Amino acid sequence: MAEHTETKYLPNYLEYQGKHKGLLGWLTTTDHKRIGLLYFYSMMTFFLAGVVMGLLMKFELISPGEQIMGAQTYNGLFTLHGLTMIFLFVIPGVAAVYGNFFLPILIGAKDVSFPRLNLMSWYLYILGAIVVLSSQFMGDGPPDTGWTFYAPYSLKTQTNVVAAVTGAFILGFSSILTGLNFVVTMHRLRAPGMGWLRMPLFAWSLYGTGWIQLLATPIVGITFLMVIAERLLGIGFFDPAIGGDPILYQHLFWIYSHPAVYIMILPAMGAITEIIPTFARKTIFGYTAIVISSMAIAFVGYFVWGHHMFTSGMSSTSRWVFSLLTFLVAIPSAIKVFNWTATLYKGSINIQPPFLWAISFIFVFMIGGFSGLVLGSLATDIHTHDTAFVVAHFHYIVFGGTGFAFFGALHYWFPKMFARVYNTKVANIGLLIFFIGFNMLYFPMFYLGLIGMPRRYYDYLPMFHNANILSTVGSWILAIGLIIIIVNLFRARKATGKIVDDPWDGKTLEWTTSSPPIVENFEEIPVVDHGPYEY
Amino acid sequence: METITTPHHADAHRDDTAAKLGMWLFIFTEILLFGGLFIVYSVYRFKNPVAFELAHHELSITMGLINTIILLVSSATVAISISAMQKNDKKMTMLMLGITLLLALVFLVNKYFEWGGKFEHGMYPGSELMKNLSNGDMLFFSLYFFMTGLHAVHIIVGMILLAITLVKVKTGAVNTGKYALLENSGLYWHLVDLIWIFLFPLFYLIH
């Protein structure tokens, strides 16, 4: 290092020692990169726990009759699986991990606008997780309502609903604060020269997401508070026995929970939008169209909640209006798919694991999207409502969309985050197995739903047996793929490799920083004089 | 290594505009939180117009009116405290913040007597009387206790914010060159006031 003696040594975020050292240094950090990793490790833990629950449920469904658990256990398990995956993994998901780690770097800032609030959001997330999970061990048994807590059952069941709902409320608060932080950060901390239309598209997707988090989450917050009040104080809001209206609960719940789907998927789309131009080695096609479509999804997505309630009792006018709006929201999603594929056209494609993840994402996301149209049109929805078809659809969107994007983004940004190189061959094999397992697990469920297999039962009629075997075996293949992927990354995490600042030849600002980035990201705040993807 | 200062040192990253923007966004979320309740209120009032109108006679318009005036005056005093800070009048700022806190306390005392009166007549969430009410009355009083209760929680949060601000003004941590905290606490207090302005007619002045 003799030739570097005159340059000042800047510690990277992993080795930097602030006021506190070691673990305490991590737990008191306000560095957005470290907070991103705090989210990453906690979220991966919950995700893997959720996967195990899913595998257990699929094992139960391998053949008719009781295999390893009874009805009540199964009800508790699908509730916990939903709570864990939805509230602890996919809703914070891509935004909290990669948003925290990369948003300030992508816009050329040292950190988010409110670093301490950012750390507090993580603590609220952990507190919410603990309260949600405590519902399993305290009170009168695990909640069995499904993650939607539909009234009046959530008011009547003897199980420990209050803890789960309180936890979800706290998690919502954490989500609001993260969204608020990101929106303010993008308004205030863009580097000199970075106009709104020079912002990387991942940042744009976080901007849309931030607004949904701000505008939708309070509605479910107050709804959950009303459920808590109704259970604890016996004051009437939703129980029809005391004049309440359970349909009103469904409206309030979905006013948040449908936009929440876009909280999950928008940052995922944003991450894919970063990966595609880097590996096509070509400027993104239709930058402005993608920006507008992100904001359109955020906006229109606010007005489609009624499509969860086509069979619940709504006027026929509301039904067709919600159906129409649902079809409208498909348009900006399709625009994005067209933009991604158009970017690939005549690109010099560099086939690497992140690229393959992105392509797989587009494939499964399209299956999820098209099956969504089946559910969005009134007549076919009546037939498929509350069947395995719905389960297949939202797993294609939520797991196939957000999950694939999460791992794609991990493979893309891994060298930057950890300054380690993973084995690309093993990564590809892992993805291939994961992809086969994923489709084998969920595709048969479309068929099962169409022939009438209802969701949320631990048992089924013998006529559904064959496809269920296929689906269960698929879940094992998916698990094997997942293990290969994680072990491969974990080994890379430990091994030292050749550390390159820009392994994929990316053009956005994170690739101009060192690997791993220094504490405040840049030695000097960059001045931006061109768009994000100039090849 | 010595050349590196601790990141995120209080003043190094100071951005008052960001702080105010953040507060405004947070206020949006608070309005939407109560917005959910206003939707619930509208639906149930639409379904039970007669019961809601009769039930509101159980509430004292005088008490509600006094509390409305108290909150409106407190909004004025908190605004004066910000103007005083801009004019570098520390004493006036502290006086006005003190009066605001006092008014907030009087509001809560009134609320205490109002709720206490109901409780004495056996009217409280979960009571036998409440369980035997007709559906419309039940919904009216459920909403009344829940919405005014949640509002009272916001009053308490606002008081904590204002008290912290008052202490910081006293120590000089909040001063004429740096008073984003004062402005944000003031904004929050106006929000608390605004919500009450809607609650008062919805519960006390139905016709």
Stretch A228-256: mean pLDDT, rounded? 91
Q: Is B7 on the interface with A (CB under 8 A)?
A: yes
- Min distance A181 CA to chain B CA atoms (Å): 7
Closest CA to A415 of A492, A482, A360, A485: A492
CB B184 within 8 A of CB B19: yes
Mean pLDDT check: name the lowest of A400-414, B112-126, B190-204: B112-126
Closest Cβ–Cβ partner in A30, A113, A223 for B18: A113
- Min distance B92 CA to chain A CA atoms (Å): 31
Q: Is A11 on the interface with B (CB under 8 A)?
A: yes
How much is the mean pLDDT over chain A?
A: 93
Domain borders along chain B are 40-204
Contact B40 A184 (CB under 8 A): no
**Secondary structure of residue A50 in the 3-state scheme:** helix
Q: Is A242 on the interface with B (CB under 8 A)?
A: yes
**Side chain identity at residue A461, one-letter code:** L
Whether A103 has a pLDDT exceeding 60, the answer reads yes
CA nearest to A212 within chain B: B29
Whether A310 has a pLDDT exceeding 90, the answer reads yes
Q: What is the DSSP letter of A387?
A: B
Predicted-complex ipTM score? 0.91
Q: Which fold has domain A29-512?
A: Cytochrome C Oxidase; Chain A (1.20.210)
In the prediction, which pLDDT does A20 show? 82
Residues of A in contact with B18 (CB under 8 A): 113-114, 184-185, 187-189
Stretch A356-378: mean pLDDT, rounded? 95
Q: What's the CATH number for B40-204? A: 1.20.120.80
Report pLDDT digits (tens) over A311-332.
Answer: 998 999 999 999 999 999 999 9
Mean pLDDT check: name the lowest of A135-149, A382-396, A403-417, B86-100: A135-149
Q: Is A240 on the interface with B (CB under 8 A)?
A: no
Report pLDDT digits (tens) over B24-61.
Answer: 999 999 999 999 999 999 999 999 999 999 999 989 99
In the prediction, which pLDDT does B12 show? 54
In the prediction, which pLDDT does B11 show? 46
Q: Which residues of A118-155 are buried (b: 16+ CB within 10 A; e: fewer)?
A: bbbbbebbbebbebbbebbeebeebbbbbbbbebbebb
In the prediction, which pLDDT does A236 show? 82
CB A508 within 8 A of CB A2: no
Determine the Cα angle at B67 with ends B61 and B71, to 5°: 145
Residues of A in contact with B119 (CB under 8 A): none
Report pLDDT digits (tens) over A188-232.
Answer: 999 999 999 999 999 999 999 999 999 999 999 999 999 999 999
Q: Where are the beta strands (DSSP E) in A391-454?
A: none
Q: Which residues of B72-107 are buried (b: 16+ CB within 10 A; e: fewer)?
A: eebbebbebbbebbeeebbeebbebbebbbebbebb
Q: Residue B127 — pLDDT band, cuts 50, 70, 90?
A: confident
Closest CA to A369 of A467, A220, A262, A496: A262
Whether A278 has a pLDDT exceeding 90, the answer reads yes
- Min distance B91 CA to chain A CA atoms (Å): 31
In the prediction, which pLDDT does B13 show? 64
Determine the Cα angle at A56 with ends A54 and A62, to 5°: 105
Q: Where are the beta strands (DSSP E) in A46-136?
A: none
Whether B3 has a pLDDT exceeding 60, the answer reads no
Question: Mutual orientation of helices B135-171 and B16-47 as an angle, nearest 10°?
Answer: 170
Q: Is B122 on the interface with A (CB under 8 A)?
A: no
Domain borders along chain A are 29-512
Residue B126, both tokens = 């979960």
Residue A515, both tokens = 């690997």
Report pLDDT digits (tens) over A34-65.
Answer: 999 999 999 999 999 999 999 999 999 999 99
Stretch B75-101: mean pLDDT, rounded? 96
Residue B111, both tokens = 């609320």
Residue with tokens 């039930």, as numbered in its chain = B55
